[in-house]
Structure 1
Amino acid sequence: MHQITPGKRLLSFITPVLLQTQSSGVHPVLDLHLYRGQLQLSTKDALYSDLRRYRPLAKSLPTIRRHFPHIHQVLMLGTGLAAGVHLLHQYGVHPRYTLVDVDDSILQIAAQLLPPHTDAELVCADAYQYLQQQRRHYDLLIVDIFLGQSVPDYVRTPAFFAQCQAAMAPQGILILNYIRNDRDQFLALEAMIYAAFPDTDVIEFGVNHVFVCHAAVQ
């Protein structure tokens, strides 16, 4: 990982400092910046991760704090800088992680930043295909999958949420980050989520909507 000098760290509180730029088969532009002392990962048209300041998880994880002692297996679909790992680590939660991303370059960046002694399996795969094939049950499932500022079409299907349900432990929790670009698409997604998970809370900030869904008690 690029060495961060004291001068770059200080400058980052004034303006974002580009640490490295690269391209991958998935993202023509993949930039790692230091901003206000913290790393950010961005593509040409979207901020993919802001580490411990990543708002969708920074706002949603505290709402499930009472469940932290029961979180032992976590599946993250869409990795970014593994903000969920860093935030849970900050809360003293150290489960086993499965981190899935279609872009191996993102996985490699995330791997270099994981907190020490993190138990994590990194999988380069299409998130939906992985979800269909895996057979584990997770206490926490984080879905943060975007193509630019939109989710893939499969996220807005009943089949996807059925697969999420199948992957969750009996009292598991699903956190889904969504950017509302189209009102009708959003309303259809919202109805789909409530049909699959009646016990759902929504956290809103700007165009972001984060769904915190609790599995039905068996």
Structure 2
Amino acid sequence: MTADDRELLARYGELTTRAHADPLMPDNIRDLVLALGWSALRGSRLDNPWSSVSDLLNISATEIAQLVAADAPRYELDWTTVPSSCQAPAAPPGKPCGTNTVHVFIERDQLTGRAELRGYCNRPGCLDQAVPHPPEDAIQLVPNRGGILPTYFAWNWEAQYGHATAHAGNPGWRPPVHGLSAAEWPETPGHTRPKPFRKLPLAPAGVLLPTVSETT
């Protein structure tokens, strides 16, 4: 075994250890990370790593695009937390109104980078307590989904995500102001930021993921 082979195996071992220890990484994204890592370390990055990933995982370009789109950095609300009763203050002070929720508002918190669902009833006095909806761009929420792939690989991820999300039916995806890698995002309540990783380089920036329309 050559010195280069030993270095390759050491780097891949480092990658697999981190990938399996990362609690934020979904299993399907872990498979993609390991396949991309093997492709990069074997030199397939000089051509098109997506072709290598397709062979290693035995999946189509469309399936790869779906995985990449699923890892696009974004903020997702937890709609299971919609309040069932009105949260506007009522008499006595400090207690919520408690009437059934009719209107649900999304309140964005600039300090925490998080959003919260707030419920209000139809009473004018309660609705007056609702925080007006600011423009979506006024408060930049810290992403709580995706951002795994840029943590491990140096590549043109903004273009890759944009390409994949457009073909997955979400042409409106935009890169967050907080960065693409989850390791770069500010710490927020309930979110564990992954540790930085010595990134592996992938293909030249011009190589984009082929989609079903381009491979049929």
Give the TM-score range, shorter chain: under 0.3
Q: TM-score, normalised by structure 1?
A: 0.23
Larger Rg: 2
Report the structure, 1 or 2, having the larger strand content: 1
User: TM-score scaled to structure 2, two decimals?
Assistant: 0.23
